[in-house]
Every structure is written in structure tokens, then in C-alpha cells.
Structure 1
């Protein structure tokens, strides 16, 4: 009777493929077994045990490059290695759960691209200001752009907008601003509104929502342009209003150099 089993039998008993066994040999995870008189590899019980251990660790998420060291470690190091593997698995589980939740939220469109807390604030502002669905969509898009282009300043931006909206005078200006979307660019009210908004921020420059970190970027002008021009093709009156507003701020010595906002919680122009 021939001792040991063939590579195919060993693979089947260990619950892996022949290709996997050969791969383990290639990476030095298991020694080449002895060969019989016919030149065939013969795997014994110790080999099968090693294959099962390798398969188990690999299935648990341990990279093949680390399995050999884990199996050959003393008991204390082995236990520590297993704890580390468990930690990484938990991190991976958390990541997968987050991805699953994101997929579920995609049914609501681009709302999935913003934190729930910000969406709740946007919904409140939209209700207070009487936004139309299109207004809400544009405001949400503006927030998404801010988060994408200035991620490190996003929370700061939202906080500044909230503080600005606590000012009754500014809240009134924002309401006029959204009504101005339907005006003609040469409407004299555009100039009046730009002056009123500029005067408000000249008096309260700390409320000007400029995210931290944008000015420090070497491409701040490009990022500002992308944010400031969002929606221009839909609201031509806002193009002129923004130009007048920024010019008045500069003349007062306030160099925005980056972007202001238009929509309370959303529109990224002033």
C-alpha cells in the first residue's frame, strides 16, 4: 500500500484546488512533499493539516504573504497575529456595510453624496425659503461640489452658512436672491441686490462662507471658478449679480480670492 495521497486527493480533502496547492508551494507556504517510486508527490497527514491551516487563514483574510509567518510563529505571536487579522476583518466589514448602505441610498439620487445631517439642514432651509424642487436640486449640487473640491473645508463651510442664516437681514437677502433667478440680467434690482449683499458682508466679514483651506491651495482659482460658475447657464441674472457683488467686496478691501456662496446651504456664489 502506498503511503500518502496524491495532490488531487490532498486538495480535495483540504477543500482547495490543485492550482491553489501549487500556488502555496510556489510561495513557500508548504514544503514540497516526498515523491513515490513513480515520481508522484505524496501528501501525508501533516501536509493535509498545513493545507487546512493555510486555507483557513486565507479565507479569514490573511494575505498569502503573511500566512507563513503566522503559522510558524510561537503561540503568543500567533495569537497577536490572529487579533490583528480580526481587526482588519472588522474594518473591512464596516467598509462593506458602508458601501451597502450607500447603494441603498442611491435610490434617492445624489442625496447619497451628502451626510444625513447636512441634508436635514438643507431640507429645513428649503422649507423656510420656499424652494422649488429645482431650487433644492441646485442647492444640493452646490454642496456636493463644495464637498468634492474642498473636502477639508466642507464642515466649516456648512457651519458658516448656518451662522449667516441666523441673521434675519441675511435671510431676507437670500430670499430675494432666489427670486432674482428669474430676473433679466439688466434688471436694476440686480444691482440693488448686489449692493445690499455686499454691504451686509462688508459689515459682517466673519460670516462670509469661505471654507478653510481653499486659499492655501495652489489651484484655488480653478476650484473657485468651478464652484462659482455652477448653474450659470440656467440663471444668467446671477452671473451679473456675482460680478457686481465681488467687485464691491474688492473695492471695500475684502479679497475673496476664492468663492462665496449664493444659496444659504447650497448655492456657491454670492
Structure 2
């Protein structure tokens, strides 16, 4: 022991592998000790101290490229460098937490693509008795709205939240779902469209579209992809939505034409 430790012994004492010790040597973090008469490098207490310091900093998240400078820094620069490392590690931790939360939400399908407020609206729909197919369609519409017209997404959510607070609108909407089985020429569709438009017009401020969205050259196409999503398989629902839009335009609401 008086002549020092072999690289294997030093690695075992410090708690790293021989490969790690050699890597530290290559990076210049720890100087290679002199060889003894037998040709072996012998590690003394100073070498072990340097190995322990390098291993500790690396384990704490300090990039190996910065470990050497830290080991040779004065106390003031050492403290400042550790503060910088701490900030970077905190940012990494926050990023990892966000990724973990996204993975958790991913287990719930498209909810990974929506903020909590939108998910709460979907939960309310289910709680109000709307079926899973309708909730799924609304989820898809929200995903499309957030991607295609992000500038009106919050307004869109506010309109939905307000509508769900209106028991009459909720019942009319459920009746609209029943209309999927009606003939597109059924006169009840016109009556239902008029009633739904009246409920929407009860608070006209919720129907206002932000100017940036209106000025898009493709505003009509974006609007159609969101507001007419899911109606392709039900001609009566398509007619119902078209009649609602016609009634809103007649009342002075700027609804893009398809």
C-alpha cells in the first residue's frame, strides 16, 4: 500500500470502473501517475482525491467537458459555475417533468394535444350525458382548432364553456344529435337550427372572431375544417349546421362561406 494503488484498486476505492478512470485521463481531468519500477502506474491519495472530485461532479450532472475547469477553479469561480450548472439541471428537470406529463396524457389519446382547460370541457360533455362518439368528435375538433386557428382557440373554448352552462342549449344540442337519423329535408331541422342560432345569439360577443383570423386568405377553409368536422357521414347534421350558419349571417354575424 505504501507504493500506492493499481488502477484497478483505485477505481474500486473510488467507485468507478477502470474504463472511467482511463476516460478521465484522456480528457485531462486526472493526470496519469508515474509508473513504478514494475511498469505499473500507482495512485496515491492526491490522485484518489482528484478522482473522487471528478466522479462527484460528473454524477451531479456537470458535463465532463467542464469538470476539469471546475476542479482547477478558485472558490468564487467554482461557486458561480455550480450555480450555472444548477440552473441548467433545473431546466432539464422541468423539461423531463413536462415530457413525463405528456406521456401520461398520451395514454388518453388526443388529450396529449390539448391543454387542461380543453380537457375539462370534454369531461363536462361526458358528465352531461353526451356519448363517447360525440365527445371524441369534439375532441378532434378542438385539436384541429388549436392547430389551424390558434388565435381563436381560447375564444372557441369560452363559447363551449358558456354553451354547457346553458341547459336549454345542451338539450337542443342533444336533440341535434338525434337529427343524425332524420331525413335531410325533415322540417324539424329548420326549427332546430333556428332555436340553436337563437341560443348562440343570446350573447353575441362570444361569436365575434378576432380580426387576425378573419384576415387570413384561407380563413374559410380553416373554419370549415374545424366547424364542419365529423358531419360528412350525416347529411342531416350537415344541413343543420349550414342552416345555423345561415341564421347567424342573417343576424349580422360574420361567418366564413364554404
Q: For each residue in 1:162-192, what CA deviation from the matched residue of structure 2 results, as whole angstroms up to 9, or x when unmatched?
A: 2344556644543443333333334333344
Considering only CA atoms, is the larger Rg found in Structure 1 or Structure 2? 2
Q: Which residue of 2 aligns with 1:27?
A: 27
1:135 is paired with a residue whose SS is: helix
**Correspondence 1:47 to 2:44:** no
1:79 is paired with a residue whose SS is: helix
Q: Which residue of 2 aligns with 1:207?
A: 206
How many angstroms apart in 2 are the aligned matches of 1:256 and 1:36? Answer: 88
How many angstroms apart in 2 are the aligned matches of 1:63 and 1:50? Answer: 16
**Correspondence 1:65 to 2:78:** no
Q: For each residue in 1:87-141, what CA deviation from the matched residue of structure 2 results, as whole angstroms up to 9, or x when unmatched?
A: 444454455555556656666555566555544444334444x312333333334
Alignment of 1:71-220 (within 5 A): 71-97=71-97, 114=114, 118-128=118-128, 130-147=129-146, 149=148, 154-166=153-165, 170-171=169-170, 173-198=172-197, 204-208=203-207
How many residue pairs match? The answer is: 258
Is the Cα–Cα contact under 8 Å of residues 161 and 207 in structure 1 kept in the other structure?
no
Q: For each residue in 1:16-65, what CA deviation from the matched residue of structure 2 results, as whole angstroms up to 9, or x when unmatched?
A: 22332333334333334434456654433323222222221222222223
How many angstroms apart in 1 are the aligned matches of 2:71 and 2:14? Answer: 16
How many angstroms apart in 2 are the aligned matches of 1:31 and 1:145? Answer: 59
Q: Which residue of 2 aligns with 1:237?
A: 236
Alignment root-mean-square deviation, CA: 4.2
Give me the TM-score of the superposition, normalised by structure 1: 0.68
Unaligned runs of 5+ in 1: 260-270
Task: Indicate how the Cα distance of structure 1 residues 5 and 221 shifts in structure 2: closer, same or farther if over 3 A, else same.
Answer: farther
How many angstroms apart in 2 are the aligned matches of 1:41 and 1:149? Answer: 66
Task: Indicate how the Cα distance of structure 1 residues 190 and 27 shifts in structure 2: closer, same or farther if over 3 A, else same.
Answer: farther
1:29 is paired with a residue whose SS is: coil
Unaligned runs of 5+ in 2: none
Aligned-pair CA distance for 1:15: 1.9
Is the Cα–Cα contact under 8 Å of residues 207 and 253 in structure 2 kept in the other structure?
no
Ranked by relative contact order (alpha carbons within 8 Å, sequence separation 6 or more), the top structure is: 1
How many angstroms apart in 1 are the aligned matches of 2:213 and 2:24? Answer: 50
Q: For each residue in 1:182-231, what CA deviation from the matched residue of structure 2 results, as whole angstroms up to 9, or x when unmatched?
A: 33334333344445545665675421275897567787666545434532
How many angstroms apart in 1 are the aligned matches of 2:222 and 2:25? Answer: 53
Task: Indicate how the Cα distance of structure 1 residues 165 and 16 shifts in structure 2: closer, same or farther if over 3 A, else same.
Answer: same
